[in-house]
Amino acid sequence: MNRKILIILFAVAAVIVIGLTVFFTLRDPAPEDAVPVETPSVYDMNAVYINGKAMTLEELKPYFSLSVNNLMSELDIDEPDWNTVFLDTGISDYVKKDALEILRLYAAIEKKAAELKTTLSDEELKKLDSWHKDAVSKLGSEEAYETYLLENRMTEAAYKHIYAVNLLYKHLYDYYYGEEGAAVPTQEETDAWGDANKLYHIKHIFLATQDNEGNPIDADDKELQLALAKNLEKRIMEGEDFDRLSIEYSSDGGLKNEYLFLDEAEETFRDALSALEVGSVSGIIESDYGYHILKREPLDVRYVLDNYPQIVTDSFNELISQWTKDVEIHTTDVFDGFDVSVLYIEK
């Protein structure tokens, strides 16, 4: 079947060329010494237009490959079964559609970066300039590099394009969410996200009931630790500074800032965490390790952004979705009739 499709594609191209040759022969016979025109390969024909820019099937091959690799990773398979159905469509049609979405995304990122005058750094441009040399050096020879490209159905131009767009994507993220970014969440938005996702910023005072080897301390010493915990709890309630008491008395040195989701916390602490409002202090909590007093602190916006980027995942995806709507893609009959499996199945 795959062989037949290729034959049909080449046959259609040949028929078009033959028809044109006959037409022009009747209109204006060519001189005897005219150079014959070669039939173009289907891979050299324009397959899609992205914002008016044409791409041939040959230029699309790396993006088909990228889509196939993504699909194999998602399904945890070594080779796609081209006869199966995935998401209600054949694998070939899925790969073609996905490749177009990849190109739509790349075009949107490049366009937005140009609008915002976001460019690659000198160091990044230098990396692109030395791409070929670095790749050959890493793989050992020109031949090894060419083999690598062939086996991965990629081109150097495509690799550099993918690399450059990913860098632009990071620059755009930094434009919106970096230091003084245009869309950094407010404290209120950060707190609301933290509440919705049960993310807590906790300081604690910890009084150990185990020695350095993890062995329980004797009963009298444990009673002393409990008495100290009760004394500290009272002093905190009377208004003494939590941080100062933590530094002075905590077995682990104090001032331990910890961010954790509720479901990550040990079960011993979950009820206490759930009950804490920002700025409030828990009662004494006993664990296998000792006595704890917790204080819930406000979420630090910058810390949350840097360590939990999912806080802006939805908003950034919404921005990207808006950008991609402005990308115009038109396919040709060459693209619509192409079966990607011919690139993978030996004929």
Taking the chain (347 residues) in consecutive chunks of 10 residues, what is each chunk's mean pLDDT?
30 30 34 52 94 95 93 90 89 95 96 96 96 95 94 91 96 94 94 95 95 92 96 96 94 85 92 94 94 95 95 94 96 96 78
Q: Are residues 45 and 176 in the same domain?
A: yes
Output the pTM of the full model: 0.76
273 in a structural domain: yes
Distance, CA of 97 to CA of 104 (rounded, Å): 10
Here the tokens at position 141 are 């020879």
Axis-axis angle for helices 156-177, 131-139 (nearest 10): 120
Q: What does DSSP say about strands 46-50 and 53-56: parallel, antiparallel, or unpaired?
A: antiparallel
Here the tokens at position 298 are 């406000």
7 in a structural domain: no
262 in a structural domain: yes
**49 Rama class: left (phi>0) / alpha (psi -120 to 50) / beta:** beta
18 in a structural domain: no
Axis-axis angle for helices 156-177, 57-75 (nearest 10): 60
81 in a structural domain: yes
**Among residues 131, 134, 140, which one has the least CA distance to residue 161?**
131
Q: Are residues 170 and 193 in the same domain?
A: no
Distance, CA of 4 to CA of 11 (rounded, Å): 10
* Residue 332 near residue 46 (C-beta atoms within 8 A): yes
Q: Are residues 55 and 109 in the same domain?
A: yes
Domain of residue 281 covers: 188-302
Q: Are residues 230 and 108 in the same domain?
A: no
Q: Are residues 249 and 289 in the same domain?
A: yes
Question: What angle (nearest 5°) sits at the alpha carbon of residue 167, between those of residues 165 and 168?
Answer: 65
* Residue 281 near residue 236 (C-beta atoms within 8 A): yes
* Residue 196 near residue 137 (C-beta atoms within 8 A): no
Distance, CA of 347 to CA of 4 (rounded, Å): 10
Q: Are residues 160 and 203 in the same domain?
A: no
| CA distance to 38, 175, 197, 240, 306, per residue, from 303 (Å) | 62, 17, 16, 27, 5
From the CA atom positions of the chain, what is the Rg in Å? 32
pLDDT at 220: 95
Considering its fold, how many domains does the chain have in total?
Answer: 2
User: What are residue 192's DSSP bridge partners?
Assistant: none
Q: Are residues 166 and 61 in the same domain?
A: yes
Q: Are residues 47 and 154 in the same domain?
A: yes
226 in a structural domain: yes
72 in a structural domain: yes
Q: Are residues 222 and 284 in the same domain?
A: yes
* Residue 158 near residue 106 (C-beta atoms within 8 A): no
Give me the sheet containing 329-331, strands edge to edge.
53-56, 46-50, 329-331
Q: Are residues 46 and 176 in the same domain?
A: yes
Q: Are residues 197 and 243 in the same domain?
A: yes
* Residue 149 near residue 156 (C-beta atoms within 8 A): yes
Read off the CATH number of the domain in which 126 is found. Answer: 1.10.4030
Q: Are residues 159 and 239 in the same domain?
A: no
8 in a structural domain: no
Read off the CATH number of the domain in which 225 is found. Answer: 3.10.50.40
User: What are residue 166's DSSP bridge partners?
Assistant: none
